Amino acid sequence: MKLKKWIGLMAGAVMAAGLVLTAHADGPVEITFWHAMGGVNGETLESIVKDFNESQDEVHVNTEYQGTYDDTITKLKASIQSSTGFPDVCQMYDVGTKFMYDSGAAIPVEDMFETTGYDKSTVMDVISSYYSVEGKQYAMPFNVSTPMLYYNKDVFEAAGLDPETPPKTYEEILEFAKQIVDSGAAPVGYSQAIYGWFFEQQLAGLDLCYGNNDNGRTEPVTAVEFDSNGGGEKIFQMWLDMYKSGYFENYGTTTADTQTAFFAGQVGIIIESTAILKNAINSSPFEVGTGYFPRFEGNEDGGVIIGGGSLWMMNTGDEAKENAAWKFIEYTTQPEVQAKWNMGTGYFAINEAAYDLDEMKAYVEEFPGFSVAINQLKDSPVNTYTAGVLSGVQTESRLIFNDLMAQVYDGKITPAEGVEQLASQVNSAIENYNASIE
């Protein structure tokens, strides 16, 4: 029996070509988990892995922090190329989905559902739809976030605004920002980082697609749509108006710089990811209020796209490790784990059952900001707009956006020119990408 197990393992190792054999016949199966969570979020993740390792003795997960999302995907590419040091489970950001799908280096998680009797509906539809290609779920969402509005309740009070009523539209934000600055409650009324993700979110909020072929969900994207459907220009124009109003401050593309200003009480209102909620509460000496991601007047019911990251099961060719990897991934979807994750970070619980737990209920009562985030997600319609664009060049597209938005703010180009250039540059990137994977 023991011999047989060894032979099986050896065969697996040979197939995995170059992988280090770390599993023992009688010890737990050792698997490697690459992640990109630093700071408060990283600590919570480590603690979840520790819980998992202690909860059973068949699988032992070794975490390896890889730096930022961009660092992680870069290292993963290198390890796929050289087929060494492959992780068994890899955390990947939302826009890495198409790359992972095209690379063929991962096993779709849905392949494991049937054999293990996993109930697909454990994860909310609006979330799993982002990680589905042609109807099949490829990755297990793990850290799910959306953008939302953060505001400083003390500043609201000082400005004579109701600290329990956040602004809902950009028009209202402008009004509130004016009152904040004019009353001297804070030097800056509103701020948002130059961040392509917000642009994608705003398009979804307008019930418009970023790319053609239903945001690439029915067939690969071949061109963008935000130029022809008018959404791009509308958004660029609104943001430029905000910028020029005098109540807005631009802290650039580094989102942390906008956060710093907000935490320091310099800015009344910002938009940011729900993922920084825990950090915001910890870092701010004032009471943090939260509200829905702002909309345009007339589009108040638009939804948000889920962002954040997911867990991918890598195709290592070693069945024992793959099963172990799935076991860990399955564990992360349990309500208790998701509740812990949500409370420790600000990322959503992907499993709705987490919100029925007593500890979670008590927590939300203490920090109502958490319920705003989840309600916003629940209120989001599941459609092609909120599924988000599935594109292999989205990282690049966001960088191009950053560049052009800064030029629009500076008055070097008009919003119309900005959108036109964005569309043509992203289209050529898409064309290049599609040609390279044919």
Partner 1 sequence: MQLKAKNPVFKAIEPYLYLVPALVLFALFVFWPFIKTIQLSFALTDPLGRVAKYIGAKNYIDILTNGAFVNSLIVTLKYAAGRVVFSIALGFILAIISTEKIKGKGFFRTMYALPMAISASAAAVIFMFVFHGSVGILNKLLGTHIGWLTDQRYALMAVTIVSVWIAIGMNFIYLTAAIQSVPVELYESVSLDGANFFQKHRYVTIPGVSPTLFFLLIINVINSIQAYAEVKMMTSGGPASSTNIVVYEIYQQAFINSRFGVACAESVILFIILIILTALQFRLEKKVTY
Residues lying near partner 1 in the complex (CB under 8 A): 70, 74, 77, 80-81, 99, 102-103, 187-188, 194, 249-254, 257, 260-261, 264, 266-267, 392-393, 395-396, 399, 402-404, 406-407, 410, 412, 429, 432-433, 435-438
Sequence letter at residue 199 = F
Least CB distance to partner 1 at residue 402 (A): 6
Contacts of 417 (CB under 8 A, 6+ apart): none
Between 62 and 254, name the residue whose CB sits nearer to partner 1: 254
Between 141 and 268, name the residue whose CB sits nearer to partner 1: 268
Tokens standing for 431?
A: 């064309």
Between 19 and 186, name the residue whose CB sits nearer to partner 1: 186
Least CB distance to partner 1 at residue 427 (A): 14
Between 160 and 411, name the residue whose CB sits nearer to partner 1: 411
Least CB distance to partner 1 at residue 407 (A): 5
Least CB distance to partner 1 at residue 176 (A): 18
- What is the SS3 assignment for 240? helix
Question: Which alpha helices (DSSP H) does 245-368 contain, by range?
Answer: 255-263, 277-283, 319-332, 335-345, 358-366
Least CB distance to partner 1 at residue 416 (A): 17
Question: Which alpha helices (DSSP H) does 160-218 contain, by range?
Answer: 170-182, 196-205, 212-216
Between 251 and 355, name the residue whose CB sits nearer to partner 1: 251
Between 56 and 432, name the residue whose CB sits nearer to partner 1: 432
Least CB distance to partner 1 at residue 62 (A): 25
Q: Round to whole Å and give the CA distance between 174 and 169.
A: 9
Least CB distance to partner 1 at residue 80 (A): 6
Kindly state the DSSP code that residue 288 receives in the 8-state scheme: E
- What is the SS3 assignment for 211? strand
Residues 65/37, Cβ–Cβ less than 8 Å: yes
Q: Is 114 exposed, middle or buried (0-12, 13-18, 19+ CB in 10 A)?
A: exposed
Q: Is 58 exposed, middle or buried (0-12, 13-18, 19+ CB in 10 A)?
A: exposed
Q: Round to whole Å and give the CA distance between 93 and 116.
A: 26
**Backbone dihedral region for residue 428 (phi beyond 0: left; psi -120 to 50: alpha; all else: beta):** alpha
Between 120 and 412, name the residue whose CB sits nearer to partner 1: 412
